[in-house]
Amino acid sequence: MLYHPHNPQHPAFQRKVHLLFVIFSVFMGIILLRFVYLQVIQYERWWRLSERNRIRNETLYPERGHIYDRNGQIIGDNRPSFDLYIIPDECKEKCLFALQRLSFLLGINYPFLESSYREWLKTHTPFEPFLIKKDIPYDSLIKVEVERLFIPGIYISQIPVRRYKDDFAFSHLVGHLGEISESELKTLKGKYALGDIIGKTGIESVAENFLKGEKGWEQIEVDAFGRKVDLLNVKHPVRGSGVYLTVDMRLQEFAHSLLEGKSGTIIAMNPKNGEVLAYAVNPSFRASDFVRGIEKRKWHKYISDENAPLFNRGSFALYPPGSTIKPFFAIAALEEGLINPNSTVNCPGFMWIGNRKFRCWKKEGHGRVSLIDAIAASCDVYFYRLALLLGKERITKYLSLFGFGKETGMVLEERKGLIPALEKDYTAGEIANVGIGQGSILVTPVQLLRAYAAIVNGGYLVKPRFIMRISEKDGAELDPPLMEKLPVKDNTLEIVKKALFEVVNGKMGTARWLRSATLEMGGKTGTAQVVRLEKYKFYREENLPEKYRDHALFVGFSPFNDPEIIVIAIIEHGGYGSTGAAPLVKKVIEKYYELKK
């Protein structure tokens, strides 16, 4: 038993135990070498890193995807923005000195800065950076850089922020950015962090998922002055996808310039496919005010401005269409077989409905007018009659057929508008009024534009499109084209389209002075009455105070055969459609052809 190889006293057993200890010693030797390697050979490196929180983990913000026009011109790209912080743990007892110096360099009120700093200290650890100023201008940045060695604890972050090529012209189309709200943070759980910038309205909001890109991070080593010494590790952020809009930058800027000093909208669209070529809205806001989240002061200025610069008049404003609604009544009556295009109606300048006298805009009357003349001359009496002839049900049916009173389905936020409701009762006078686009009918500019597009493109109700491509992908993913063939006879549309041509080119046309042989333009004027006080009742339009003047409307298209552009202009308080709006439309169409060359 005793000399068994596994008896503890047996040499074979003892050899095994010795071997076990040798193996253990080898491992300990490896550990020892590793420690020598770390603590002697690599000492400098690790010592540097261990010095007071010298490794910083930073989020790297991605560039927001660029926004381009249909030709690849940049509408919105990015610029670097610098934020200035100090880190209390790094400036220690010199923090107040640093604050004082920085407030001097940046022109900030020092007592205010100091008190907010003290307040901040109560709820934060000294390792967190305290924000002194967001987005400091470049010249201030240089001043700070010059003195950086003497001011401890400075930390400057650099992030890309949105830059717009034109601060005003695209604001309502592209929309604005803003700091993510708490409710957005909740619904978009996990994708964003507090303080992130997100698209709030317009294309920035619609294409947010494509534009936002992917965040990265870097682990950097910094010295006591917060300067980067070494990059330890990095994951680069990924820029968001580029979004190509259907608009033509030059046409949009031109249209916007036409609105200078006016309130209103000019929208141009290709009637064949709904691609919006220009979407100008004025008054507009400075889009760059929003790129890092808007300051409270500026926000209040915007929302208290009585011109409502944040209001997207193109899709959100509701206007009485005025005479621009007349062609749709003509279509309804033709389709229902109530009128013959050649039969005439006498317009003495007024018409009795019940015991009220309904006037035509032309006091002396138009005399005997056919359908085409009635549209061209915009005879009110003719359309009072048509409206009464059609009645509420048929009016509602045809108006809603052409997309009034409901959304167009476009990507921008919009309102439905208003058409006579089936369940409500209307007096004959109210119905007659709808015939000239007043009263129980309100439309958005986009609605009206696409209803006209349906007349001139052969009866297709198209969805206005804004996004053409996303990087290399088809924009259909976000903004699919939509087209609906209306159950309206081609002949009917031809007649009305001819009438629209007469508006500009006919002898009686309300916009006949815009006639141009080369443009082959057609269209329709509209003058929407604004509710006005009794005392202004008999004033001439030109003498009215501006806010009581009528809205001027015009929808124009070109060329007559197979139109490729259709433009709406609505100028608030612009007076008559023929003088306030129609010339603008003509200019836009001219510009379109000029750019096409």
Partner 1 sequence: MKRDFYVLLFTAVLISVMGIINIYSITHLSSSHWMRQIVWLVISVVAAAILFHIDYLRVYNRRWILYFFTILLLLIVDVMGMEGGGARRWLRLGSWNFQPSELAKLSVIIIISSFIDQKWRPEGWNTADLIKMFLLVCVPAGLVLVQPDLGTAGILIIIGLLLMVISGMRLKTILYIFLFFLITLPVMWQFMLDYQKARIIGFLNPYSDPLGKGYHILQSIIAIGSGGIEGKGFGRGTQSALRFLPSRHTDFAFSVWCEERGLIGAVFLLGLYAFLIFMILRISFYAKRRFGSFLVIGIAIMFMVEIIINLFMISGMFPVVGVPLPFFSYGGSSLLISFMGIGLACSVIWDRITGRFV
Binding residues vs partner 1 (CB under 8 A): 4-9, 13-14, 16-17, 20-21, 24-25, 27-28, 30-32, 34-36, 38-40, 42-43, 45-47, 49-53, 55, 57, 127, 217, 219, 232-233
Nearer Cβ to partner 1, position 7 or 471? 7
Least distance from C-beta 165 to partner 1, angstroms? 37
Nearer Cβ to partner 1, position 14 or 158? 14
Cα–Cα distance between 463 and 482 in angstroms, integer?
5
CA nearest to 375, candidates 347, 354, 395, 355: 347
CB 137 within 8 A of CB 40: no
Cα–Cα distance between 374 and 385 in angstroms, integer?
11
Least distance from C-beta 17 to partner 1, angstroms? 5
CA nearest to 431, candidates 398, 383, 397: 383
Nearer Cβ to partner 1, position 45 or 489? 45
Least distance from C-beta 222 to partner 1, angstroms? 14
Measure the CA angle with vertex 42, ends 40 and 44; round to 5°: 90
Provide the CB-side half-sphere exposure for 367 (13 A, CA): 2
Least distance from C-beta 31 to partner 1, angstroms? 5
Nearer Cβ to partner 1, position 48 or 357? 48
Least distance from C-beta 6 to partner 1, angstroms? 6
Query: What one-character-per-residue DSSP string does 30-74 give?
Result: HHHHHHHIIIIISHHHHHHHHTTT-EEEEEEPPPPPPEE-TTS-E
CB 212 within 8 A of CB 62: yes
Nearer Cβ to partner 1, position 54 or 463? 54
Name the one residue in this structure whose structure tokens are 């983990």: 57
Cα–Cα distance between 208 and 213 in angstroms, integer?
9
Least distance from C-beta 413 to partner 1, angstroms? 38
Nearer Cβ to partner 1, position 35 or 536? 35
Residue 382 CB contacts under 8 Å (≥ 6 apart), including other chains: 345, 347, 366, 369, 371, 374
Nearer Cβ to partner 1, position 2 or 517? 2
CA nearest to 380, candidates 365, 391, 368: 365
| Residue 460 in tokens | 């297709």
Cα–Cα distance between 311 and 316 in angstroms, integer?
7
Nearer Cβ to partner 1, position 16 or 79? 16
Least distance from C-beta 58 to partner 1, angstroms? 11
Nearer Cβ to partner 1, position 6 or 507? 6
| Residue 276 in tokens | 């919006």
Least distance from C-beta 153 to partner 1, angstroms? 16
What DSSP element (H or E) covers 22?
A: helix 11-36
CB 419 within 8 A of CB 435: no
Least distance from C-beta 154 to partner 1, angstroms? 20
Q: Residue 522, SS3?
A: strand
Cα–Cα distance between 161 and 76 in angstroms, integer?
10
